[in-house]
Amino acid sequence: MFNLFFSFDNDRPEYEEPKFIVFYRLLLSVFTLFCFKCKEDGPTVTMKSIGTMVIVTQHCWNCKGNFQWRSQPLVKGIYPAGNILLSFAILTAGASVSKVLLVCRHMGLSVFALRTYFRHQRKFLFPTILYQWESYQSNLIMKLKGMKDLVWAGDGRFDSMGHSAKYGAYTMFCTTALKICHFEIVQVCISNSYSFK
């Protein structure tokens, strides 16, 4: 067994912060100790989960106030950061989303639905990945324009042996820089014969 000590840093982005699994009973025991506003003993507590995030609300009979605590920061003020980060981790690991979510459910972890994962892909993940690729590609091409004696290679793959594919990938590779500079998903076309008069 080993201990990890983390220093708190306000400038550290959410994705670099360590994350922990917290059990319901232990979280409840902290928030029922005293009201976080007036310090009165024994407030009532309700919890609501939004995917991987929990919102704890204290209801105090003494000050008649409510104190609310979220277990995660919000992205764009709406989306729990842990939900987005879990979707990102599943996508970049190449894991099966249904199996990852099933593992979480078997363990009893609060997690979002399959539809939420695909919504995250559409709204956040794919646009971000595309933006990063286009930025990387434009910077690389600007760098390569300043170089001399470049050697380029291109190749396409449309199907595997015994299979017929409708789409394929064509890749441009700079052998001098050892970098893939461009790739294109292309549709296989059947050549039409035209008669010219």
Which positions ≥6 away from 155 have C-beta within 8 Å? Answer: 170, 171, 173
Instruction: State residue 131's pLDDT score.
Output: 96
Report the 10 Å Cβ neighbour count for 131. 10
Domain boundaries, the chain: 74-146, 149-158+165-188
Query: What tens digit of pLDDT does each residue of 151-178 get?
Result: 989 888 776 655 667 778 888 999 888 9
Instruction: State residue 197's pLDDT score.
Output: 41
Query: What tens digit of pLDDT does each residue of 60-118 get?
Result: 999 888 999 999 999 989 999 999 999 999 999 999 999 999 999 999 999 999 999 99
Statement: residue 148 has pLDDT above 90: no
Instruction: State residue 3's pLDDT score.
Output: 54
